[in-house]
Amino acid sequence: MPEEFKLRLRNISPKKHICVSQQFTSEYLFELFALAKEMEENSHLYSEVLKNKIICLLFYEPSTRTRLSFESAANRLGAKCLVSENASQFSSAIKGEIIEDTIEMVNHYADFVVVRHVEDDVAYKILNSTKIPYINAGTGKTQHPTQSLLDVYTIYQNFQRLDNLKICLCGDLLRGRTVDSLVYLLSKFKNNKFYFVSPENSRIKSDLKDHLHEWQKINNLDFVESDNLINVLPDIDILYITRIQKERFENPEEYELAKGKFILNLQNVSLMKNESIILHPLPRVDEIAKEVDNDPRAKYFQQARNGVYIRMALLKILNDNTDL
C-alpha cells in the first residue's frame, strides 16, 4: 500500500471508522475506557442504544473470540446482526466478487460493517466504498485494532497508566498482527520500553521497526530484540505472549527448538515481578501451560472479558457520531 494511503488510514477519526491502531489518541482512549467501565457496571442502561440498528459481520478468516464478542456487544446494545461466519467460501467472494462490491451492497443492508479479511491492505479498499461505519476486525498480517484497544484497556486497568511501561512481546512477531497494533498504540505514550522476543526467523516487520526508530526520540521509547524469554522476565511489567504458528516454519526441527524457548509455565512465571501481568490475545495452543491460569498475574481471560465492553463502547461512540 502506498505511503499516502497508510497516512490517510491513520488520520481517519476513530469516531467514524476503525482501520488501524494509529488512529487512537489518548483522548479517545480515555473516553472509551470510561465508557467501557460504565457499561460493565450499568449494562442495563444501554440495552436499547442500538435498537433497530443492524450490524453486518463479514468474516473471511476463522474467528471465535472476535466475532462472538462483537455479536455479544451488539446484542447487549439492542442491535441485530447479519453474519457471514465463513464469507470466503459461502459468500459471493467464491464467485469472484471484489470486496468493494460487497461493501456497496452492505451499505444498503446494515448500519455498521465489521470485516475480518485475509488481505493486508483491504482496509483501504473498504474505506473507499463504505458509506457506513467500518470496523477492522483483523486484516491479514497487518492490523487488529480493536484487539489493541482491549489490550491497552487491560493494561490500564492494572497499571492506571499507558506510559513508563516495560513490555515484552513474545512469539511469531513476523506473521502475527496483534503485536503490531499494540505496539503502534503504546508507542504513542512516553518512556515505554519494548522487548521483542521471537525465533530468529520471526522478528518484527521492517515497517514496525521503521516506526519505532521514528518515535524513539519523540517519546523516549526504547526497544530490543532477542530470542531469550527467560532473561527478560524479571525486568518487565507486561508479558504479551502469542502463538508460534507451527505451519509457518519450513523446518520442523527449527520449530521445535524455537517453541521450547517460549513456553510459559509456573516455573518461569515465578521469575516475573509480583505486580506484572501476563496477556495473550488467545487462542493459545501450548505456549502458556494451563497451570498458569490460576496465577494472579494471568490476565488473558480478563482481556477476553474486556473485549465485550470495549466493543460496546466503541459501537456506541461510532453510533453517536454517524449523524455528525
Tell me whether residue 181 is exposed, middle or buried, using C-beta atoms within 10 angstroms of its C-beta: 0 to 12, 13 to 18, 19 or more. buried
Question: Cell numbers 523446518 label which residue?
Answer: 251
Tell me the three state secondary structure of residue 283.
coil
Give me the phi and psi of 194, to 5 degrees please.
-105, 130
Nearer to its own copies, 121 or 287 (CB): 287
69 is a contact residue toward its own copies (CB under 8 A): yes
**Rg, C-alpha atoms of the chain:** 19
76 forms part of the interface with its own copies (CB under 8 A): yes
Annotated catalytic residue, options 6, 17, 66, 316: 66
Does the active-site annotation cover 64? no
322 near its own copies, rule: CB under 8 A: no
Q: How far is the CB of 100 from its own copies (least distance, A)?
A: 8
Instruction: List the helix and strand counts (H, then E) for the chain.
Output: 13, 9
> 51-89: buried (b, 16+ CB within 10 Å) or exposed (e) per residue?
eebbbbbbbbeebeebbebbbbbbebbebebeebeebee
Q: Does 131 bind its own copies (CB under 8 A)?
A: no
Restricted to residues 230-259, the positions that interact with its own copies (CB under 8 A) are 243
State which residue, 56 or 197, has the beta carbon closest to its own copies: 56
Please say if 116 is a catalytic residue.
yes
Q: Is 289 in the site for its own copies (CB under 8 A)?
A: no
Stretch of residues binding its own copies (CB under 8 A), selected from 152-160, 221-229, 252-260, 284-292 = 284-292
Alpha-carbon span 246 to 236, nearest angstrom: 27
CA 109 – CA 84 distance, rounded (Å): 13
| Residues labelled catalytic | 65-66, 95, 116, 144
Where does this chain bind its own copies (CB under 8 A)?
44, 47, 52, 54, 56, 59, 62-65, 68-69, 71-72, 75-76, 80, 82-87, 89-97, 100-102, 104-106, 108-110, 243, 282-286, 290, 301, 304-305, 307-308
